[in-house]
Amino acid sequence: MQFGLIEMWQAMGVVAKTVAIILITLSVITIYLFIERQLTFARARKKSLEVAPKLAELMKNGQLKEALALASKKDYKSSHLARVTAAGIEEYLSGKESNLSLEEQIESAQRGCERAQSLFTQELKRGLSIMATIATSAPFIGLFGTIFGIINAFRGMALTGSGGIGAVAAGIAEALVTTAFGIAVAVIALWTFNSLNTKIEVYNTEMENTASQIVDYFIRVSGAK
């Protein structure tokens, strides 16, 4: 007698089938979020590499307003480096127009960079909380199906009046399948979560370096006056 995936699915109870469908849905959501985040990160990287040399050249020539206009363009909205640079320059120029002291202008620019970094980090983390929830809850969802699989095994024994392997095979298979499914989904979600978190840390470091360079630039400019 064959006992493949189709036979196991047919032998599974309503609860176990529902659990399996939920776990499949969660795995699809995880993969979708992973791909979507990867595309977002790739877009941020591409746009940053495109705009960074232009911004560096404009700031080197003291063209802050032009640099602000470039960094604020809609085309570079997805660039993490452009967002931080625009925020720093905007706060610096705003402080200058308000006749703040040089020290206050620099502090204002630094706070602007930090705010932009914080906001962009939150954008990068979008969907990661869902992945974390899936990673922690998937094994328990699988365990829920496992319990009902064991119940089905005992029910098979009761119906046949026998404790042989044939009476409990379907229930045990059902229990093992949902357990394996739950663990597999959790592993996928955990791996993708950690992978994306590592990339976010890299982007955070790049934004911190950019903010530091902008502040240092304003300090040098102020000292030269």
Q: What is the reported pLDDT for 225?
A: 56
Q: What is the H or E stretch that residue 183 is in?
A: helix 165-224
Residue 1 banded pLDDT, cuts 50, 70, 90 = very low
Per-residue pLDDT averaged across 120-145, rounded?
Answer: 92
What is the signed CA dihedral for 62, 64, 67, 72, rounded to 10 degrees? 170
Residue 8 banded pLDDT, cuts 50, 70, 90 = low
Work out the percent of the chain whose per-residue pLDDT is above 70. 83
Q: What is the reported pLDDT for 16?
A: 78
Helix (H, G, I), strand (E, B) or coil at 204: helix
Q: What is the reported pLDDT for 220?
A: 85
3-state secondary structure 103-146: HHHHHHHHHHHHHHHHHHHHHHCCCHHHHHHHHHHHHHHHHHHH
pLDDT at 163 over 60: no
Per-residue pLDDT averaged across 123-127, rounded?
Answer: 93
Q: What is the reported pLDDT for 162?
A: 56
The predicted-structure confidence for 177-218, as pLDDT tens digits, reads as follows: 888 889 999 999 999 999 999 999 999 999 999 999 999 998
Residue 32: give the domain boundaries.
Answer: 5-224
- Alpha carbon separation from 16 to 100, 139, 186, 204 (Å, rounded): 67, 14, 17, 43
Q: What is the reported pLDDT for 201?
A: 95
Owner of token pair 């840390």: 201
- Alpha carbon separation from 200 to 37, 40, 112, 136, 206 (Å, rounded): 10, 11, 20, 21, 10
Q: Which two tokens stand for residue 101?
A: 């002291």
Q: What is the reported pLDDT for 175?
A: 72
Q: CB atoms < 10 A from the CB of 216, how many?
A: 11
Maximum C-alpha span of the chain: 96
13 vs 143, residue with greater confidence: 143
Domains: count for the chain: 1
Q: Which two tokens stand for residue 37?
A: 């985040």
User: Distance between alpha carbon 95 and the CA centroid of its chain, in Å?
Assistant: 35
Q: What is the reported pLDDT for 6?
A: 66
Q: Which two tokens stand for residue 110?
A: 């630094």
pLDDT at 48 over 70: yes
pLDDT at 9 over 70: no
Mean pLDDT of the chain: 86
172 vs 223, residue with greater confidence: 172
Q: What is the reported pLDDT for 138?
A: 93
Q: What is the reported pLDDT for 223?
A: 62
Per-residue pLDDT averaged across 76-85, rounded?
Answer: 93
Q: Give yes or no for a contact between 136 and 115, defined as CB atoms under 8 angstroms apart.
A: no
The predicted-structure confidence for 84-123, as pLDDT tens digits, reads as follows: 999 999 999 998 888 888 889 999 999 999 999 999 999 9
Q: Which two tokens stand for residue 224?
A: 């030269």
